[in-house]
Structure 1
């Protein structure tokens, strides 16, 4: 059975995603996106009223797949909840070793748009980060930490986003492993408190 062809808007978002990931959102023109997608600029603007809308669609496209990857890594990892949280960081370190790795698209976009807090892409970025945080909190509650799960999820997010930034700066995935170790220690400490 033949695979269905992507719609024009899907082709445009796919083209934009590749360019935005490789070069950053400000460096990429709508002309470049249209050329990569194989459409006219008029067609591009028919599907996306502005570059801002296209940037938001780029992040929306990354949202659920990124969270799904975290969920897969968590579920596949052996051990207790602390080991499973640490495994997410180790998987990220594996990815960061690849030459094409460019960090977190949500954070990179937020840096480029920092002076526009209401930008639709920043709204998408905040929604994504909150969705990941809520998922961590849910996993921690299921594991028995019903009192501090929200605080612990926030601490994990600080470690997660912090290591994205530091690894991008130093190009050393060892920082992700270090952040993962810190996350494991935090989870274990909280779980011990919850049992007492």
Structure 2
């Protein structure tokens, strides 16, 4: 059975994902993405009216897969709610050991676009962070945690702080430490 050839749009998004994540959005040209996708720049602009739209689509394409991975790590973890939350951090720390790991693409993009708060990618990134927080909130609420809103926000802050600190120090143990802190907070709120 022959596999389907990805559409031009899918190839463009795949190339954007690989290049933007590994090199940053400002460092990567539209020409480089078109070349990596094996298409012309005209074809790229047929599917995405601007580089800004492509950057937003790149982040949007990462939203659900990233959230699904966090849910998987949470669901597969044994133990109490606090253990499940810590498992997200422990799995993330394991991922951070991979040589191609560059941290959170949403935070890295936000840092590159910090002077452009109205950029469409900033909205996509903010929505992703809110989606993660909302999912945590629902998990905490369903298990009758004390103040699930504040608890989910604290875990998000620990997660994003861990992402940022690992980028500075290149040491995934910071993610493990943040996971221990999250575990303690969640255990105390249960």
User: Fold match, TM over 0.5?
Assistant: yes
Q: Does 1:118 align with 2:118?
A: yes
Distance in 2 between residues matched to 1:6 and 1:120, nearest whole Å: 26
Distance in 1 between residues matched to 2:114 and 2:144, nearest whole Å: 37
Q: Does 1:173 align with 2:172?
A: yes
- State the 1:179 CA deviation: 0.2
Q: Does 1:72 align with 2:72?
A: yes
Cα-to-partner distance string for 1:59-100 (whole Å, 9 max, x where unaligned): 011000000000000000000000000000000000001111
Return 5+ residue gaps in structure 1 as ranges. 192-196
Distance in 2 between residues matched to 1:113 and 1:41, nearest whole Å: 23
- State the 1:2 CA deviation: 2.6
Cα-to-partner distance string for 1:139-174 (whole Å, 9 max, x where unaligned): 0011112x5001100000000000000011101110
Q: Give the length in aligned residue pairs.
A: 190
Q: Does 1:143 align with 2:143?
A: yes
Q: How does 1:93-112 map to 2 (within 5 A)?
A: 93-112=93-112
Q: How does 1:124-139 map to 2 (within 5 A)?
A: 124-139=124-139
| Corresponding residue for residue 158 of structure 2 | 159
- State the 1:36 CA deviation: 0.5
User: Please, what is the CA RMSD of the aligned residues?
Assistant: 0.8
Q: How does 1:55-70 map to 2 (within 5 A)?
A: 55-70=55-70
| TM-score normalised per structure 1 | 0.95
| Corresponding residue for residue 194 of structure 1 | none
Return 5+ residue gaps in structure 2 as ranges. none
